[in-house]
Amino acid sequence: MAAKHIYEHDIPELEYCYGKFPTGSGSGLSPLFSTGHPQFGEFNVSNLALPQMFLLDMGWSIPEEIVVHETNPSTTVDVNFMLEGNLRGNFKGLGADFSLQGGFNNLKYTPSEKSSHHAIKQDAKMFVISLDKNYFRELIGHDNHWAESIQNKMEREESFIASKNFLTTTPQMHGLIHAIRNMQPSPMSRLLTQSMIFQLLACQVDQLRSLHTNASGSDNVSVTDMEKLHLVKQYIEQNFMQDLTLSGLCRVGMLNEFKLKKGFKALFGTSVIQYAKELRMQYAQNLLRDHNRSIEEVSSALGYQYPNHFSTAFKKHFGVAPSVR
């Protein structure tokens, strides 16, 4: 059966959402609308407006294969985190198709683009941060080649996707998104939410810069080896709970041990093994903070035989002993 084509301007809820007209100005995400539609299924959206930015938290139960066509160009810089599901899209002016899968993210600016999104029957969840374009330009500055390239494209009103290869959403990013989505109303919750958004944006911009940088220390790493090292880094981010070994990671990146160890340190500023440990500790912190797991449960999940050994490692990493909220 052929996919059903849906146009944004024909369905008020989609036009409202794609047009990004935020109403939530409280202390946390608030429902924008929840609707069931025979063509595009159940669509639940919460939002929050903050100075120079707004958030959309979307859940979408898609009843059949569809193609949604945007008919209004975007005027914002959009940071998209796919939490569940898989959307394929096309930007004609960019000459590029993309596939955004659960656990990945990217950033786009499409001031004159009309895109389409292709989705199969599925349950999908997406978390979106939309930023005023001038505010985004202030945030990234001009202090490196990547930022300067983005600044020039935005000055020319040129559409771009920040990375051809979509980026892994790290455990730290997942933890921040989870905390934002589940923030309880309080006098400080709006300020805390804004602070966590800045942390989330900083994590993603660091990812993008690392893809494009040729910083001191990485000059002797060839472009081919850089691509292989990024592949290893992505593999670690997706499998950090597994028993990773240097020999296994060498096979993943098709690098010898010397190039893996030296190149990874030069490119990312940390060792291969230390990076995996950092991801595991961030994951442990997320389980303790946001999922109410006990220290014993988290210790076991990370493979420690004794909880006190985990507590010692946690304190060494974060400077404080683990605790459950």
Query: What is the number of alpha carbons within 13 Å of residue 16 lying toward its C-beta?
Result: 15
| Weakest-pLDDT range from 6-15, 115-124, 286-295, 312-321 | 6-15
Query: Looking at the predicted structure, is the pLDDT value of residue 37 above 80?
Result: no
Q: Assess whether pLDDT exceeds 60 at residue 216.
A: no
Which tokens go with 155? 């000055």
pLDDT band at 170 (very low <50, low <70, confident <90, very high): confident
Which of these CATH numbers, 1.10.10.60, 3.40.1350.10, 3.40.640.10, 3.90.79.10, describes 223-318?
Answer: 1.10.10.60
Three-class SS state of 117: strand
The full set of domain ranges for the chain reads: 4-211, 223-318
Query: Cα–Cα distance between 24 and 21 in angstroms, integer?
Result: 10
Which CATH superfamily groups domain 4-211?
Jelly Rolls (2.60.120.10)
Which of 26-40, 43-57, 123-137 is predicted least confidently?
26-40
Which of 39-43's residues contact partners 24+ apart within 8 Å by CB, and which partners?
39/4, 39/6, 39/11, 39/66, 40/6, 40/11, 40/14, 40/66, 40/68, 43/13, 43/14, 43/17
Q: What is the DSSP letter of 3?
A: P
Burial (CB count <10 Å: 0-12, 13-18, 19+), residue 95: exposed
Model pLDDT, residue 214: 46
Other Cβ atoms closer than 10 A to 40: 21
Statement: residue 215 has pLDDT above 50: no
Q: How far is CA 8 from CA 11, 59, 143, in A?
A: 6, 17, 39
pLDDT at 61 over 70: yes
Q: How far apart are alpha carbons 264 and 161 in whole angstroms?
A: 25
Q: Which is nearest to 279 in space by CA: 168, 169, 171, 167?
A: 171
Q: Do residues 110 and 76 lie in contact, with contact meaning Cβ atoms separated by under 8 Å?
A: no
Distance CA 302, CA 49 (A): 38
DSSP structure string for 175-191: HHHHHHHTPPP-TTHHH
Q: Where are the alpha helices (DSSP H) in 114-221?
A: 133-140, 145-155, 171-181, 189-212
Q: How many helices (H) and strands (E) does the chain have?
A: 11, 13
